[in-house]
Copies of this chain bind each other. A is one copy, B any other.
Amino acid sequence: MATIGDVARVAGVSRSTASYALSGKRTISVDVRRRVEDAVRELGYTPNAGARALATSQTRVIGLLAQFLEDEFAPAMLQYMLGVSNTARELGYDILLSTEADGRNALRRMTDSRMVDGIVLLNVAEHDDRLPILRDAPQPGALVGLPADCTGVDVFDLDFEDAGRTMVEHLHRLGHRELVLVSQPEHVVERGGAYVWRLQNAAVEAARARGITLHAAFGAAHQPDVGRDLHALLDAHPRATGLLINNEAAAAALPTVLHDRKLSAPADLSVVGRYSDEFARTFSLPYSSIESAPDRLGRMAVRELVRRIEGQAGPDEPHLVRFVSPELIDRGSTAAPRGD
């Protein structure tokens, strides 16, 4: 494999000159620059990443921590990963991926050994145990998900409170007076998935303010449990005319459940979910939904992270906490309730 020494020899210059010719950090005569570039082509030279990282303390790699936990719906996570990965590449960075359940280990390994210039954390819990480690690390970090304490990191998340309100308002406006909300499994909440509460509390509050009934419940993350949960909920609240879904597995299971009950949306039941458009297409979901914008969130996180890595953000520039406003995508699954 060719080194910069080989390039220099072929071009008839010193190693430092070759380096400067390639980086452009000092003025080099056009003649020499041309000879160096020819040598690079001739030898097929590519700089050794390890050596460059050692010399510059920059790797041009971003660490991506995605935990695939029990009771979590894997395909939803994929969309965030792709948003992060694709944006990173556009900005000239590669992705070091960890799917370890124990994210602390992975985080320490990546940061301590200087394998990465920065870190993106997905699926952040309210008291995420990876955060103290990330704050102590020399690399900057960006989160997708809102923790209790945002100091020292940039934070991006959907505005789940607004999402909860929007769902309720939308159905209230159509005339619905009794709703059911299916959230993520209780387990996810216990693990600190605060976004579940944020949406739910706002929905409950919005319903109370409008004097309508909202039954909130958890749903499992897999079949067949989540199907049973949905049946049980619909059995328990036969007068409910609207269904809110903040649970990807439940959304994916709903077509079959409605089929079994011989119900259609919106004729028999109005349905609003919270998932991305890409998710809806993939899972063949015909229900209107609050766009969860995983690609956009991933993109924002990486953009800001790279700004910090490259020092375009001032060293004392305060960290961001930014919420994406929910947008309701109408797929025609809501209507006025049947007047019976």
Chain A residues within 8 Å of B, Cβ to Cβ: 1, 44, 46-54, 59, 61, 64, 68, 73-75, 78, 81-82, 85-86, 89, 94-100, 106, 108-110, 112-115, 138, 222-224, 226-227, 249, 252-253, 255-256, 258-259, 280-284, 286
Contacts and interface: CB of A to CB of B under 8 A. Distances in A.
Contacts of A51: 50, 54
B222 A49 contact: no
B252 A113 contact: no
8 contacts: A1-B112, A48-B54, A50-B114, A53-B53, A68-B82, A74-B75, A256-B259, A256-B286
Contacts of A99: 81-82, 85-86, 89, 95
A113 B49 contact: yes
A286 B227 CA distance: 12
A295 to B, nearest CB: 12
Contacts of A96: 61, 94-97
Of A50, A109, A253, most buried by chain B (CB within 10 Å of CB) is A50
Contacts of A253: 284
A138 B282 CA distance: 38
B252 A259 contact: no
Contacts of A259: 255-256, 258-259
A78 B85 contact: no
B283 A283 contact: yes
A223 B284 contact: yes
Contact of A282 (B46, B75, B113): B75
A282 B48 contact: no
A253 B252 CA distance: 10
Contacts of A223: 280-282, 284
Contacts of A252: 282-284
Contacts of A113: 46-49
Contact of A78 (B74, B95, B224): B74
A283 to B, nearest CB: 6
Contacts of A286: 256
A49 B115 CA distance: 6
Nearest to A280: B223
Of A81, A108, A114, most buried by chain B (CB within 10 Å of CB) is A114
Contact of A222 (B59, B82, B115, B281): B281
A112 B46 contact: yes
A99 B114 CA distance: 23
A256 B282 contact: no
A77 to B, nearest CB: 8
Nearest to A47: B113
A113 B81 CA distance: 24
Nearest to A285: B223
A222 B109 contact: no
A250 to B, nearest CB: 10
Contacts of A114: 1, 48-50
**Chain A to chain B: the 7 pairs with minimum beta-carbon distance, closest first:** A50-B53, A46-B112, A259-B259, A75-B75, A49-B113, A223-B284, A97-B97
Contacts of A249: 282, 284
